[in-house]
Amino acid sequence: MTHIASTTLVPTEAELVERARAMIPWLRERADQTEKDRMVPAETIAAFQEAGFFKILQPRRWGGYEMHPNVLNRVLMELGRGCPSSAWNVMVLGVHPFEVGLLDPQSGDELWGDDPSLLVSSSYAPFGSVTAVEGGYLLNGQWLTSSGCDHAQGGAFVGARLFDKDGKLIDYKAFWVEAKDFTIEDDWHVVGLAGTGSKKLILKTVFVPEHRTHSIIAYGEASHGHLPSLYKMPFLYVFYAAVSSVIVGMARGMEDLYIEHMKPRTNISQAVGAATQNPFVKGRLGEAEAKITAAAARVLLNTDEAWSFVTRGELVPLDVRVRHFATNMFTGGECFEAAHMIFKKTATRGVWLNNPMQRQMRDILVGANHITQNQDDIGDQLGAFLLGTPLPPGNQFGT
């Protein structure tokens, strides 16, 4: 692909977004092979590295840009239009430099002291076990769906819940483990986002020192008050918004493909005329555009509002966190609806395997199924908060 040169040492938001936009045709050309390979090519990851996407949320002390989370969100909204699987890898591998910023600085020195370009993947579903020991924790078991793990030479964050002797949840923690401490099992055979390479990680009696851990759910002065502005943002807040942003990009990509598909077509259901004159073709597109635009605006506006607190040295208030989590988590369902309503207008043309629209639709389906887009759970929790009833323990709001 064409080399994209930067005019400054640290690129501007506009530069980074334009780099992502310029990659869309190139990513679309590679999307089919990415799906067949069931992982993003190393060449694509190298292009993302060169573009600076993985530095957006990386702390400055280790060579990162330490920028507003919406810079990454806007980049993801562009990349998702070209190749959802590749964009998903940028999302996962691009959010974890933020997470390293939440750890004791010793961890960042250990990870990036020799090579600040090392990437870290993750698996937060608590399938493995954790045992507290002197100075840290022992981890055992399997952690599923670690997107981009083949490119994560810096290791992975894995999640596990800790309970007291009575079975009461104490904490839900993330543990940074080095790549040498786990093996990868290639079990990623799925209907959509197949190119993400979201494979299983296997850990056997791995010791993780305390300084390489943080609470996924805790949020307050004790855990975040001392951190620089960016890292006062709740981790799950940043992560969930990034997932939503990729899905917005996927839906935009479906819209792009739909427009290209419909422009040369003629009506079958009407006697004469181009398909672009069909009121149902136009109406579906208009409604999809409205849904996608609203979803994108909500994610960006929510993040801007949260950012306004942390840049004043404040933490994000609970009522803001709850409202933002809830509204962002409806993005997947809304974008799926938008994509599906225009996909249905392609009739049988859209379902051929050589038509990229069917892959885009499958990718959106899987993205919208992600736990961060679970409308049922978040709707229940938002309702509980509004009614003044207790939130469940271990909720994502940091209560």
pLDDT digits (tens, 9 = 90+) for 76-115: 999 999 999 999 999 999 999 999 999 999 999 999 999 9
Query: Does the pLDDT of residue 268 top 60, yes or no?
Result: no
Query: Does the pLDDT of residue 6 top 70, yes or no?
Result: no
Cα dihedral across residues 226, 231, 235, 240: positive or negative? positive
Query: Does the pLDDT of residue 274 top 90, yes or no?
Result: no
Query: Does the pLDDT of residue 152 top 90, yes or no?
Result: yes
Query: Does the pLDDT of residue 1 top 70, yes or no?
Result: no
More confident site: 223 or 271: 223
Residue 350 pLDDT: 82
> Whole-number mean pLDDT of the chain?
92
Mean pLDDT of 22-50: 98
Query: Does the pLDDT of residue 145 top 80, yes or no?
Result: yes
Lowest mean pLDDT among 273-277, 348-352, 381-385: 273-277
pLDDT band at 38 (very low <50, low <70, confident <90, very high): very high
Query: Does the pLDDT of residue 272 top 60, yes or no?
Result: no
Report percent pLDDT > 90 for the chain.
Answer: 78
How far, rounded to the nearest angstrom, does the alpha carbon of residue 205 sit from its chain's CA centroid?
29
Burial (Cβ within 10 Å: 0-12, 13-18, ≥19) of residue 347: exposed
pLDDT band at 31 (very low <50, low <70, confident <90, very high): very high
* Structural domains present in the chain: 13-112 (1.10.540.10), 121-215 (2.40.110.10), 229-387 (1.20.140.10)
pLDDT band at 267 (very low <50, low <70, confident <90, very high): low
Mean pLDDT of 315-336: 93
Strand 199-209 versus strand 156-163 pairing type: unpaired
Mean pLDDT of 213-234: 89
Residue 348 pLDDT: 83
Which one, of 24, 23, 100, lies nearest residue 61 by Cα?
100
Give the DSSP per-residue string, 366-395. Answer: HHHTSGGG-HHHHHHHHHHHHHTPPPPTT-
Residue 341 pLDDT: 95
Lowest mean pLDDT among 40-54, 143-157, 212-226, 236-250: 212-226
Mean pLDDT of 368-393: 87
Mean pLDDT of 10-17: 97
Mean pLDDT of 345-352: 85
Rounded CA gap, 3 and 8, in Å? 15
pLDDT band at 60 (very low <50, low <70, confident <90, very high): very high
Burial (Cβ within 10 Å: 0-12, 13-18, ≥19) of residue 15: middle
Which region holds residue 394: left if phi is over 0, alpha if psi is between -120 and 50, else beta?
Answer: left
Lowest mean pLDDT among 237-246, 359-368, 381-390: 381-390
Lowest mean pLDDT among 31-45, 127-141, 196-210, 273-287: 273-287
Residue 270 pLDDT: 55
Burial (Cβ within 10 Å: 0-12, 13-18, ≥19) of residue 199: buried
Using the CB atoms, write b or e for 202-216: b if 16+ within 10 Å: ebeebebeeebbbbb
